[in-house]
Amino acid sequence: MNLMKSLVAFALVALSFAACTSNGCPRQCPRQCETPCVAASDSKELSFESSDKDLELTFYWGKKMALSYAHDGSDPVGYWYEAALPHRAAFCMRDAAHQSIGAEILGLSKHNYNMMYKFASNISEAKDWCTYWEIDKNDKPCPADYTSDNDFWYNLNANFDVMYACWRLYEWTGDKRYIEEPAFANFYALSAKNYVDSWQLNPEQMLTRTREVNRKPDAKNFGSARGVPSYVETFSGLYSSSDLVATIYGGYDAYSKMLAVAGDKEKSTQMAARAEDYRRHLDEKWWSSEINTYHTFWTNKGTFADGEGLTHVIWFGAAKQPERIKGTVEKMLARKEWNIENVSYFPLLWYRYNYKDEAYKILKDIVLAKRCEYPEVSYGMVEGIVSGAMGIVPSASKKRVTTMPQITGDNYLLINNLPMLGGTVSVRHNDNTSSVFLNNTSSEVTWEAAFAGNYESILVNGNSVKALKRTDAMGETVSYAEVKLSKGEKACCKAE
């Protein structure tokens, strides 16, 4: 495996050099902010280049692996990609929700929309306002998880995870169907009310509910799993979990933002307050000063217990206080073993919370990991590089694209033709203080050129402007400039 990695890395160096020189750039693309060498070639295909060949290798490994799981629409279910156990020929709600941005980066917009639509459109009262946890290529509920509407596997996080994913997909694409299409609007509304009431998931019920909720007497195959109150499936005696609370928070928060975009300010405010109820419940009931993190499980013995369920507390941004985020992340880092599904989320999360060395190590070594062929992994690594190491995050609701490099070592990172907002962008980070941005989206955008640290000014196309300031989730200072760019326009920013 090490030999293979070295050979592939060598090939990528050669390809990168050829692309750069064939485009009229010098042998080593200039590092000055003013360089015109934004793109390494004239190709319209998504491409990534870096002087860090380990990172480059991971990107192309992830791209190839992820696209190998994508299907062209010829199956009865339509466009889809595998988001479940390999070779099951299906996609489940959790995996699809977490793979969706990686898929969007790789140009799988049709796949994302179709898959999310399938989940949204299959919600029903007969299933107690669940939808199908897993759908196969034949457009049927996967028989590995479903026998009948009374007898099926379902993790209760799922509805809200899909809501959160659909908001992120709207922000990435600007596709208002995720907000306005009746099937989606219906799914969000039913999940926010009927689903929560049916499964006793209101904040005041989270520590009083039991596993008997909605269990059907004729359920012979999945009786005990019809409503798993966590994404952790191996803990016995589980009645509730902090990852469930955090996921519901994320779903309500996303729904509030979607309603704001739709123009329903009153209901948006109600859903924001609802989200805050869950966040407050998490902080007041689940936080433990003794272990300096959140408890993960509430058991049938009326006691808290701890395990691997912390990932989603920070994935959905439910923890807000920097010291509690730090305690949670460091508790996670101290854990020696994680399943590969959790590891697939870690690069994005560790970059988000300023643990860039830990994020980079996963990106560098992932191709050697056991079960690295699991679909979530490749999609997660692609997102980890683009939205983590490069810090590229679009916001359709604000007509804004944020970038913030978090580069390890003396390297540059360059991505060309990154799909978003009805077109593409190209971004080059020369280092952690210098970025170039090319807007080829469908309209004008505001580029938020952000840099970690407290800088007095930022050179925008050579002109010094006073740096704007904000703090990140960990309370650290971020300096940035706002640059309006019309379609086809390029700019360069350097912090000083």
Is 108 within the bounds of a domain?
yes
Question: Is residue 3 one of the residues assigned to a domain?
Answer: no
Lookup result for tokens 């009805």: 422
Contacts of 273 by beta carbon, 8 Å cutoff, 6+ apart: none
pLDDT digits (tens, 9 = 90+) for 127-168: 999 999 999 999 999 999 999 999 999 999 999 999 999 999
296 located within any domain: yes
User: Is 256 within 8 Å of 329 (Cβ atoms)?
Assistant: no
Each residue's pLDDT tens digit, 240-297: 999 999 999 999 999 999 999 999 999 999 999 999 999 999 999 999 999 999 999 9
Q: Residue 271: which of 188, 351, 343, 342 has the closest Cα?
A: 188
What angle, rounded to 10 degrees, do the helices at 53-68 and 2-22 form? 100
221, 243, 295, 313, 457 from 289: Cα distances, Å: 40, 18, 10, 16, 40
**Contact predicate 388/348, CB 8 Å:** yes
Q: Is residue 24 part of a domain?
A: no
User: How far does CA 246 lie from the centroid of its chain?
Assistant: 15
Task: Please list the rounded mean pLDDT of every run of 10 residues in the chain (496 residues).
Answer: 41 38 33 49 86 97 98 97 94 98 98 98 98 98 97 98 98 98 98 98 97 94 95 93 98 98 98 98 98 97 94 97 98 94 97 98 94 96 98 98 97 98 98 98 97 98 97 98 97 98
**Within-domain flag for 474:** no
What pLDDT does 1 receive?
A: 41
Report how far residue 263's alpha carbon sits from residue 256's, in angstroms, rounded to the nearest whole number.
11
- Number of compact structural domains in the chain: 1
The pLDDT, as a whole number, for residue 4 is: 39
| Per-residue pLDDT at 251 | 98
The pLDDT value recorded for residue 24 is 31
Tell me whether residue 19 is in a domain. no
Q: Specify if 213 maps to a domain.
A: yes
Residue 38: predicted pLDDT: 65
Using CA atoms, how far apart are residues 439 and 427, in angstroms rounded to an integer? 9
Nearest Cα residue to 307 out of 247, 237, 372, 248: 237
Within-domain flag for 142: yes
Q: What is the CATH number of the domain that holds 113?
A: 1.50.10.10
Contacts of 66 (CB under 8 A, 6+ apart): 81, 99, 102, 103, 106, 375, 378, 379, 382
Give me the pLDDT at residue 11, please: 41
pLDDT at residue 41 in the model: 57
Write the burial class of residue 28 (CB in 10 Å: 0-12 exposed, 13-18 middle, 19+ buried): exposed
**189: containing domain:** 83-335
Structure tokens that stand for 151 in this block: 């007898």
